[in-house]
């Protein structure tokens, strides 16, 4: 025994026992829709039980719990929006420690009574409102076209904002981490054209876009008949910088212009004795570059929104997803059913894949077929080797339909939606929200952002499935139109344990988004239906995979 304060006797064991301290954990859920099951915390102090330690809302969307823990011990933990794994936060690497399962845990080492800093769910710091300046442009392949309107939907918080031409920028306040869906609507006219009468006998030079110019800009013109066209570029004092000519056919023609030296420049085009001019404003008065004008291409007689006519609707829509953290400029793509501009093919692990541009998303045109085949009664391992299944354990089916992958193997043992996983560099595994954009882009009745695409355990849309399916290979008359070149094949699926089913009848595709702790969102196309089925599927299923290019 040793003497204590006021003469009390304290045993040696009591003296050496760890002292406990009060530790208050706090999380801001203002950027989340809080689960009806409540907010919980799991960690080393409760054997990582996601449902045993409930937190209390003490302020608007701020949840707290105070625990009595040993002083000086390292504590690892995660916040749970609900009471089960799969509802846990994704801790950023910058403020986490590796948990050995492809993710990260929060950590603290309290030595005295401690109130931990308030953090935002799935973020390192406190939740912050961001005020962002967003700017939008649109192209058909490489030709700038006019945006008639732009809708901005907050997919995290809800709510939407719409702006109309000529406004193509807005200031928006969001919370950090919000996922935004931008939808651009365009009739496809070159910038500067509100309405074109195809019978009018006029020569037109359209205002360049963007203007002012940072680096390059697009200039378009229209001629009623075949003939020579000359274009002259001069600076404000009248010095000729470019004087070039082309023999052009009737229709629309586009040029790429690089300003070079000079704050204000004049572009004058001449055809059939008629002159038209526009003024170009350069943001860089002296760039060090020489002015240049490059011919891009033409559209014969009529400006096409798509490579082929897809719908009877003149106005088309294109969608972009992003989680912005600073001011951003976005360019909608309105071309479709062509190879992705600049990337017609991708060679990966000895195999060449074609690409397909479907508005603002660039997809691999074929199912992924990468890795080493394992037998259907084997399980893939986290061993640094990509492992796949082939339908009926037949390698020729992989050559036709692509490989079939277990979700964890596809993700390469992470859980972050949109991760690269087994996709080529600069490509990623499509998240559930990206599939919704694709579905809205190809369906003739329900557009991008329509609530129809949020439904689960349901056939969704009107004809999206038909428009995605190939024109061959589906049994019992179930072929599609392949209107957008996605070319979905009926490769079937495997629920595991060496069972294979559905070839010729069903085409199934994994997303990188979990629906709960044991299931992931999946898409299924059927020979029977023109629609697309969305469901949660157990992670042990083996399913086809597509990749989408980073943006």
Q: Which of 82, 101, 120 is the last residue of a domain?
A: 120
Is the distance from CB of 341 to CB of 142 less than 8 angstroms? yes
Backbone angles phi, psi at 103, to 5 degrees: -140, -165
- Is the pLDDT higher at 287 or at 2? 287
| CATH number of the domain residue 240 falls in | 2.60.40.1930
Tell me: do 365 and 510 sit in the same domain: yes
Question: In the chain, what percentage of residues exceed pLDDT 70?
Answer: 89
Question: Once rounded to an integer, what is the mean pLDDT over residues 63-90?
Answer: 94
Same domain, 448 and 527: yes
The pLDDT tens digits of the residues spanning 311-350 come to 333 578 999 999 998 899 999 999 999 999 999 999 999 9
Residues 95 and 178 in one domain: no
Report the alpha-carbon distance of residue 133 to residue 311 in Å, rounded: 33
Residue 301 pLDDT > 70, yes or no? no
Judged by DSSP in three states, 15 sits in helix
The tally of domains found in the chain comes to 4
pLDDT at 428 over 80: yes
For tokens 């070149």, the residue is: 485
The rounded distance, in Å, linking the Cα atoms of 406 and 388 is 8
Q: What is the CATH number of the domain that holds 327?
A: 2.60.40
pLDDT at 298: 79
Note the pLDDT of residue 299: 64
Give 435-477 pLDDT, tens digit per residue. 999 999 999 889 999 999 999 999 999 999 999 999 999 999 9
Q: Are 77 and 122 in contact (CB under 8 A)?
A: no
Enter the tokens of residue 270: 């001449």
pLDDT one-digit tens code per residue, 370-410 = 999 999 999 999 999 999 999 999 999 999 999 999 999 99
Q: Kindly report the average pLDDT of the chain as a whole number.
A: 87
Tokens 């085409």, residue located: 507
For 198, 211, 319, 530, the CA distances from 461, given in Å and listed in that order, are: 35, 39, 17, 8
What are the distances in angstroms from CA 175 to CA 82, 123, 158, 178, 323? 21, 12, 12, 6, 10
The whole-model pTM stands at: 0.64
What is the tens place of the pLDDT at every residue in 126-181? 887 889 999 999 999 888 888 888 999 999 888 999 888 777 899 998 887 789 99
My answer on whether 326 and 395 are in the same domain is: no
Expressed as residue numbers, the domain containing 269 is 204-299
Question: Is there a single domain that holds both residue 220 and residue 165?
Answer: no
Same domain assignment for residues 329 and 451: no
pLDDT for residue 302: 42
Phi-psi map region of 421: left, alpha, beta (phi>0 left; psi -120 to 50 alpha): left
CA 399/CA 502 separation, integer angstroms = 17
How far apart CA 201 and CA 340 sit, in angstroms, is 35
pLDDT at res. 86: 92
* Tokens 């004058």, located at residue: 268
Q: What are phi and psi of 259, to 5 degrees?
A: -65, -50
- The answer on 319 and 352 residing in a single domain is no
In this structure, of 11-25, 176-190, 199-213, 330-344, the range with the lowest mean pLDDT score is 11-25
Q: Is residue 198 assigned to a domain?
A: no
- Does one domain contain both 146 and 246? no
Q: What is the pLDDT of residue 300?
A: 52
Q: DSSP secondary structure string, 382-410?
A: SSSS-EEB-GGG-HHHHHHH--BEEHHHH
Say if residue 359 is in the same domain as residue 318: no
Say if 99 falls within a structural domain: yes
pLDDT for residue 419: 94
């Amino acid at each position: 025994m040793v003497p204590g304060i006021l003469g009390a006797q304290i045993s040696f064991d009591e003296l050496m026992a760890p002292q406990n301290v009060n530790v208050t954990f706090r999380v801001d859920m203002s950027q989340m829709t809080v689960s009806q099951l409540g907010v919980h915390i799991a960690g080393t102090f409760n054997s990582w039980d996601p449902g045993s330690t409930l937190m209390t809302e003490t302020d608007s969307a701020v949840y707290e719990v105070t625990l009595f823990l040993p002083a000086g011990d390292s504590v690892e933990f995660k916040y749970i929006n609900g009471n089960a794994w799969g509802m846990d936060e994704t801790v950023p690497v910058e403020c986490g420690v590796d948990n050995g399962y492809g993710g990260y845990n929060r950590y603290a080492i309290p030595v005295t009574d401690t109130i931990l800093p308030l953090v935002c769910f799935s973020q390192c710091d406190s939740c912050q409102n961001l005020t962002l300046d967003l700017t939008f442009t649109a192209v058909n392949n490489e030709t700038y076209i006019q945006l008639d309107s732009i809708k901005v939907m907050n997919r995290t918080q809800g709510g939407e904002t719409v702006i109309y031409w000529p406004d193509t920028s807005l200031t928006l306040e969001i919370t950090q981490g919000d996922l935004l869906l931008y939808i651009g609507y365009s009739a496809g006219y070159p910038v500067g054209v509100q309405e074109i009468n195809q019978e009018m006998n006029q020569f037109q030079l359209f205002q360049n876009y963007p203007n002012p110019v940072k680096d390059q800009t697009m200039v378009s013109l229209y001629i009623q008949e075949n003939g020579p066209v000359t274009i002259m570029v001069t600076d404000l004092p009248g010095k000729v910088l470019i004087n070039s000519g082309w023999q052009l056919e009737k229709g629309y023609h586009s040029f790429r212009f690089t300003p070079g030296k000079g704050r204000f420049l004049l572009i004058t085009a001449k055809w059939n004795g008629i002159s038209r001019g526009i003024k170009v404003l350069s943001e860089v008065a002296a760039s060090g570059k020489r002015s240049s004008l490059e011919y891009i291409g033409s559209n014969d007689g009529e400006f096409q929104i798509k490579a082929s006519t897809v719908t009877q609707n003149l106005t088309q829509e294109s969608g972009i997803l992003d989680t912005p953290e600073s001011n951003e400029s976005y360019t909608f793509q309105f071309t479709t059913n062509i190879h992705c501009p600049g990337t017609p093919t991708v060679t990966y692990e000895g195999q060449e894949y074609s690409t397909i541009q479907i508005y603002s998303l660039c997809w691999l045109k074929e199912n992924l077929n990468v890795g080493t085949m394992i037998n259907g009664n084997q399980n893939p391992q986290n061993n640094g080797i990509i492992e796949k299944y082939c339908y009926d354990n037949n390698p020729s089916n992989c050559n036709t339909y692509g490989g079939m992958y277990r979700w964890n193997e596809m993700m390469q043992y992470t859980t972050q939606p949109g991760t690269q996983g087994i996709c080529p560099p600069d490509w990623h595994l499509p998240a559930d929200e990206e599939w919704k954009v694709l579905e809205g882009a190809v369906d003739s009745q329900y557009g991008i952002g329509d609530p129809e695409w949020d439904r689960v355990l349901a056939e969704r849309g009107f004809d999206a499935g038909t428009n995605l399916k190939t024109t061959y290979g589906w049994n019992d008359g179930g072929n599609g139109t392949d209107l957008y070149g996605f070319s979905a094949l009926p490769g079937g699926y495997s629920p595991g344990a060496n069972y294979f089913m559905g070839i010729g009848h069903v085409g199934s595709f994994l997303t990188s988004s979990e629906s709960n702790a044991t299931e992931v969102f999946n898409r299924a196309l059927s020979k029977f239906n023109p629609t697309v089925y969305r469901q949660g599927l157990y992670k042990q299923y083996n399913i086809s995979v597509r990749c989408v290019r980073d943006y």
